[in-house]
Amino acid sequence: MVKRSLLFFFVVTTNISVSAQRIDYTKYVNTFIGSDGTGHTFPGPCLPFGLVQPGPDNRDKGWDYTSGYQYKDSIILGFSQTRANGTGISEFGDVLLQPFTENHNSNFGITYIKASEKSYPGYYTVTLSNNIKVELSCTERVAFHQYTYPSNEAKLLVDLQHGLRFLTDSLVLESDVKIENNKTISGYCHTKNWVERKYFFVIEFNQPFLSTIQLTKQAKENAPRYILNFGLKNKILQTKIALSTVSVSGAKLNLQKELPGWNFSTTIEHAKNIWNTYLGRIEIEAPQKQMQIFYTCMYRLFIQPSNIADVDGKYRAADDSLRVAENKEYYSTLSLWDTYRAAHPLYTIIAPEKVNGFIRTLIAHSKSAGFLPIWSAWGKDNYCMIGNHAIPVIIDAYNKGFKGFNMDEALKEMIKTTSVNHFNSNWKLLNQYGYYPFDSLDNESISRTLEHGVDDYCLATLAKKMGIHETADTYFKRALYYQNIYDSSTKQMRGKDSHGKWRNPFNALMATSPMNNPGDYTEANAWQYFWTPAQYDVEGMMQLLGGKKKFTAQLDSFFTIKTPNPNKYLGQEAMIGQYAHGNEPSHHIAYLYAYSETPKKGQKYIHQIINDFYNNTPEGMIGNDDCGQMSAWYILSTLGFYQLNPAKDEFVLGAPQVKKAIIHFSNGKQFRIDAEKLSTQNIYANESFLNNRKLETPFITYQEIMNGGKLYTKMSTQ
């Protein structure tokens, strides 16, 4: 029964060509890339867009441990069931389990044998120093653990107070946990950390526990911790943990439908098959190292957004109401400030079947919360970051022909979001001055003004296309507010107060952040935020600077002026001059050279970024992966194109970084990319041909990609 249901799921989710399926792409994924340092990734198993991500937690707090894991750490506190990929703030870490014997310390942290730690998509294993072998796998909503003990006397910690924390010690506000029988524990926890949320769970064991001990609650603890004692038959204990945002019955239904049996190896194989259907959507020809980096980036891209709806489509909305999602899809872990730039444009190419569900989620969230999501986790907004970047994600889908959502409703929610004050957005103040005065806000006045411009331009473009000209005119005007904060004396976007006076003193190289050093910029400095309007108004930026020559000179200065002692906590890492690849405001800037007097300089920097800042090692991602954005940049740049303007369905050509790549589409079509004479020296695109037609401009449209065909590029040394 289990095998039949898993086989059916595999068949219906296959969306790539038969030839691509034959390759095991999971062997190229190194789940430890980015798990050491600031990448903040994790090695545990998960499924594409799944709810659960079981894995080891080394610590439960600290900026280095936002995923719960750091490769070099020697202690494992236990194995929790949820986390986020590459974020800068901790969340989740629900339902921690830790197998142990009689020997343990007071907090149950155990050292482990590093050489035993192995992982690939859908599977993770490690042997603890107490000789217990831990193996993890999962379906979308159910984590599956298998522990092999040194004897049949086994103990297990079930910690419901645990969580990955950020600036809090209490975490759990309330809980209701029930030991249903000697094989089942269920309940819910109401937590408050990055977001305030409720999660519901059921834990099932394949063998009965003989006794339970509830540990004494410490100060500020509002959830139980249990020690379960088992007398095993074959030294192996299996447990399944199903989660739900809705109810315990929802968690039980998820368990029943997704993982009714106890075949651990079948679950691993199922996960591997599913991952191959996604990873095989792009086929590349490259050296082993590059293959590992590329397919690990593909893997990271597909981890999120997470579908938090139960198998019956029920989900808990932003206003805590229970609703039913269309097509049983409601997505969260939406880091939109990051992902609107490259991840979402890439989803439209290689995961188009998910895009309508993404957009319906954004609209539904706005209806329940009052405005479009900014950064959602478990369906709740944490209001982290700035701007309202659900807007460019919606516009991008609309421009590319996606029709599985109500565009009139979307427009209504976008206008409401950009006209009624809410968190991080004060439209009355913005419209009064034509910018955010730094003496009227607590921080980020320049970054907020500039980020709003991106959204406003997208909304204006949509309104114009829909024939709503008065709305279009209003938002086109607001999209030009960046001109009000341009200081010609410093050639920067500079803080201005409510009296029209520039901020003094002013240091264009000093990065600021509301978390570390309140100022006018968001995890960046003036140089890095200067280029934000160029995402949609390159011509306007050229005019501001005095023409193409000065535009080129400004880019050259940007990539050569260095910062003394750059602060990685403020996004100042993976740097080339002022370009900081470790954070998202810089991600589009190398592609601006396509509009300059020296377009090939951008290709040089793209090549440098790919080779210097990505590696197939645990420290091989410099900067938070930020829910797949860093990975998406690498994938697109390796293929040789990048979407600069979120309101325009075209991609700027860079230079392919592989000799051959094939994008496979579900309709049997494919888009092939060939780079002639590609080598370590031949890094520049000399000429490009689309279906044998020479391209006179460095652009290719979304539809040209999706129609299938061939992009052929002649490479050169200059």
Q: Dihedral angle at the C-alpha atoms of 26, 29, 31, 32, nearest 10 degrees?
A: 150
Distance CA 381, CA 194 (A): 9
Does residue 396 belong to any structural domain of this protein? no
Q: CA-to-CA distance for 78 and 59, rounded, in angstroms?
A: 9
**308/2: higher pLDDT:** 308
Tell me the per-residue pLDDT of 361-408, one tens digit each, with 9 for 90 and over: 999 999 999 999 999 999 999 999 999 999 999 999 999 999 999 999
pLDDT score at 106 = 67
Question: How confident is the model over 656-682, as pLDDT tens digits?
Answer: 999 999 999 999 999 999 999 999 999
Tell me the residue range of the domain where 447 lies: 426-584
Contact by Cβ (8 Å): 58, 68: yes
| pLDDT tens digits, 581-634 | 999 999 999 999 999 999 999 999 999 999 999 999 999 999 999 999 999 999
Q: Which amino acid is at 118?
A: K
Give the model confidence (pLDDT) of 531-578 as tens digits. Answer: 999 999 999 999 999 999 999 999 999 999 999 999 999 999 999 999
* 153 inside domain: yes
Q: Is residue 626 part of a domain?
A: no
Q: Give the pair of three-digit tokens for residue 537.
A: 């108004």
Q: How far apart are CA 200 and CA 40, in angstroms?
A: 26
Phi and psi at residue 30, to the nearest 5°: -110, 100
Residues 396-451 pLDDT 10s: 999 999 999 999 999 999 999 999 999 989 999 999 999 999 999 999 999 999 99
Query: pLDDT grade, residue 167 (50/70/90)?
Result: confident
State how far the Cα of 582 lies from the Cα of 383, in Å rounded to an integer: 21
Confidence of residue 187 (pLDDT cuts 50, 70, 90): very high
Confidence of residue 325 (pLDDT cuts 50, 70, 90): very high
- The pLDDT score that the predictor gives to residue 103 is 62
Compute how many other C-beta atoms are within 10 angstroms of the C-beta atom of residue 266. Answer: 17
Mean pLDDT score, 347-360: 98
- Closest of 349, 404, 342, 375 to residue 707, by C-alpha: 349
Contact 91, 120 (CB under 8 A): no
Specify the DSSP element, H or E, that contains 115.
strand 110-120
pLDDT of res. 351 = 98
Q: How far apart are CA 32 and CA 134, in angstroms?
A: 17
The verdict on residue 658 lying in a domain is: no
Query: How confident is the model over 226-272, as pLDDT tens digits?
Result: 999 999 999 999 999 999 999 999 999 999 999 999 999 999 999 99
User: Would the pLDDT of 338 be above 70?
Assistant: yes
For 633-646, write each residue's pLDDT tens digit.
999 999 999 999 99
pLDDT at 192: 97
Read out DSSP for 565-628? S--GGGT--SEETTEETTSGGGTTGGGGGGGSS-THHHHHHHHHHHHHHB-SSTT-B-S--TTT
Give the model's confidence band at 104: pLDDT under 50 very low, under 70 low, under 90 confident, else very high: low
Per-residue burial over 370-392, b = 16 or more CB atoms within 10 Å of its CB, e = otherwise: bbbbbbbbbbbbbebbbbbbbbb
CATH code of 74's domain? 2.70.98.10
Q: Which one-letter DSSP state was computed for residue 247?
A: -
Sheet holding 375-377, edge to edge: 334-335, 375-377, 380-381
143 confidence band (pLDDT: 50, 70, 90): very high
Task: Report whether pLDDT(19) > 60.
Answer: no
Q: What is the mean pLDDT of residues 325-347?
A: 98
Which residues on neighbouring strands pair with residue 284, listed in sequence order?
Answer: 661
CATH number of the domain encompassing residue 478: 1.20.1610.10
Q: E-strand spans in 400-552?
A: 486-487, 492-493
By the 8 A CB rule, do 403 and 351 touch? no
Decide if 13 is inside a domain.
Answer: no
How confident is residue 515, by pLDDT bands cut at 50, 70 and 90?
confident
170 located within any domain: yes
Tell which of 231, 264, 297 closes a domain: 264
Q: Please give the average per-residue pLDDT across 491-498, as a whole number.
A: 98
630 belongs to a structural domain:
no
Q: Compute the distance between CA of residue 688 and CA of residue 392 in angstroms, rounded to an integer.
A: 29
Report how far residue 274's alpha carbon sits from residue 7's, in angstroms, rounded to the nearest whole number. 10
* pLDDT (mean) for 471-494: 98
| pLDDT for residue 5 | 38
Least confident of 6-20, 339-353, 528-542, 544-558: 6-20
Residue 25 maps to a domain: no
pLDDT attached to residue 7: 38
For 199-236, write each residue's pLDDT tens digit: 999 999 999 999 999 999 999 999 999 999 999 999 99
Q: Which of 1-5, 526-530, 545-549 shows the lowest mean pLDDT across its residues?
A: 1-5
Listed residues 555, 584, 613: the one ending a domain: 584
Nearest to 303 by CA among 91, 70, 45: 45
Percent of the chain with pLDDT over 90: 94
Contact 612, 360 (CB under 8 A): no
According to DSSP, the residues that pair with 660 across neighbouring strands are 285, 674
CA distance 589 to 575: 13
pLDDT at 715 > cutoff 60: yes
Please give the average per-residue pLDDT across 54-71, as a whole number: 97
Comparing 303 with 10, the larger pLDDT belongs to 303
Decide which of 533, 553, 584 is a domain's last residue.
584
pLDDT higher than 70, residue 134: yes
Phi (first) and psi of residue 487, to 5 degrees: -105, 110
Q: For the chain, what is the domain count?
A: 2
Q: Does residue 710 have a pLDDT over 60?
A: yes
